[in-house]
């Protein structure tokens, strides 16, 4: 019986060369950036220090409450009242909306977030501007809040305040506004009494700062703490003097020549990790009118968002 012959030796040699070349390509020539989406880290990265975050991330688009209108009936009137923080936003949207939809009228006031919400409940206005979230009892009355923008609350002192320069920790801010600390020397400054200027409880900024900075605790009632009768940033800055401290929406004080914004925990209000940030809202009462739907649809559209925050 004849013996079967196997493949000639040259076949094994060629197969070995092919396998050797494929292995070389796999381990050395393949693009490493495409390997299982694994990011290649730089060498000695354990010795690198992450840079300080100085800019807030780009905000996500505001969800549209209602469709952006193509047209709005002439004679449509919309009344807005509430947060003093949102005065600029209200005015920017008023101008843009009235120009785009001829014959419409937006009437704005700013008597404080809580006053605006109460006026909405009483059907005296159509939309409440508020710098605080709705309370459960307000939601129970058919109120719905629509996010419009984000904001930071700045801690401020007078321009000529010489007691504190670098800033405060969030724990120190808490102690100052709760009345536990009443001298600048207790928080790293030079010797001098602290005058705390507080906003009235009707203020949404008051309510939000109480939640964010004081952990929900009450403001202090010590003699060095003064509560303003009206919710206004201009009046607050005016009475800061040499040793006063207060708080306000950052957009209203960042370019002030008579007030100085303090760092908190080493960062400014522009930083992504700044501790006192919040959302601003427009609130409507169910069921909304066609005018309210149109205005909120415009305010939350890309065009309205640009007008609200930049103006045009």
What's the mean pLDDT when you consider all of the chain? 85
For residues 297 and 229, state if they share a domain.
no
DSSP letter for each residue of 12-24: HHHHHHHHHHHHH
For residues 288 and 234, state if they share a domain.
no
Residues 230-271: pLDDT tens digits? 999 999 999 999 999 999 999 899 999 999 999 999 999 999
For residues 205 and 259, state if they share a domain.
yes
pLDDT of residue 309: 80
Number of C-beta neighbours around residue 50 at 10 A? 5
Residue 142 lies in a domain: yes
Percent of the chain with pLDDT over 70: 79
For residues 200 and 292, state if they share a domain.
no
pLDDT of residue 9: 54
Residues 114-144: pLDDT tens digits? 999 999 999 999 999 999 999 999 999 999 9
Residue 289 lies in a domain: yes
Residue 135 lies in a domain: yes
For residues 196 and 163, state if they share a domain.
yes
pLDDT at 4 over 80: no
| Nearest in space to 262 (alpha carbons), one of 153, 174, 168 | 168
Range of the domain at 302: 77-150+279-310
For residues 289 and 140, state if they share a domain.
yes
Residues 142-175: pLDDT tens digits? 999 999 999 999 999 999 999 998 899 999 999 9
The dihedral built from the CA positions of residue 166, 172, 192 and 268, taken in this order, carries a sign that is positive
DSSP letter for each residue of 117-172: HHHHHTTS-SEEEESSPPPHHHHTTTEEEEEEEEEEEEEEEETT--S--SEE-HHH
CATH number for the domain that contains residue 238? 3.40.190.10
pTM across the whole model: 0.72
Residue 112 lies in a domain: yes
Percent of the chain with pLDDT over 90: 77
Residue 293 lies in a domain: yes
For residues 248 and 166, state if they share a domain.
yes
Query: Structurally, how many domains does the chain consist of?
Result: 2
pLDDT at 312 over 70: no
Residue 170 lies in a domain: yes
For residues 163 and 263, state if they share a domain.
yes
57 falls in which pLDDT band (50, 70, 90)? Answer: very low
């Amino acid at each position: 019986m004849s013996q079967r012959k196997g493949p000639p030796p040259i076949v094994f040699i060629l197969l070995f060369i092919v396998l050797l070349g494929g292995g070389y390509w796999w381990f050395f020539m393949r693009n490493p950036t495409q390997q299982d989406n694994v990011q290649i880290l730089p060498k000695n990265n354990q010795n690198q220090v992450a840079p300080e975050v100085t800019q807030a991330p780009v905000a996500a688009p505001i969800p549209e409450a209602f469709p952006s209108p193509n047209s709005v009936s002439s004679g449509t009137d919309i009344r807005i009242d509430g947060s003093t923080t949102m005065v600029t936003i209200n005015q920017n949207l008023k101008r843009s909306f009235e120009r785009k939809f001829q014959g419409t009228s937006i009437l704005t006031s700013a008597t404080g977030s809580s006053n605006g919400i109460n006026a909405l409940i009483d059907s005296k206005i159509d939309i409440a501007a508020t710098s605080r979230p709705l309370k459960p009892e307000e939601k129970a009355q058919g109120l719905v809040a629509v996010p419009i923008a984000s904001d930071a609350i700045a801690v401020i002192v007078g321009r000529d305040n010489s007691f504190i320069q670098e800033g405060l920790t969030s724990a120190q801010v808490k102690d100052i506004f709760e009345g536990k600390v009443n001298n600048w020397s207790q928080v790293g400054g030079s010797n001098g009494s602290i005058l705390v200027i507080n906003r009235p409880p009707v203020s949404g900024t008051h309510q939000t700062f109480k939640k964010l900075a004081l952990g929900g605790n009450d403001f202090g009632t010590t003699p060095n703490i003064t509560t303003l009768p009206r919710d206004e940033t201009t009046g607050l800055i005016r009475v800061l003097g040499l040793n006063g401290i207060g708080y306000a929406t950052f957009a209203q004080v960042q370019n002030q020549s008579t007030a100085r914004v303090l760092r908190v925990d080493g960062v400014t209000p522009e930083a992504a990790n700044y501790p006192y940030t919040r959302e601003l809202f427009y609130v409507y009462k169910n069921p909304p009118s066609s005018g309210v739907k149109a205005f909120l649809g415009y305010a939350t559209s890309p065009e309205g968002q640009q007008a609200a925050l930049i103006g045009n």
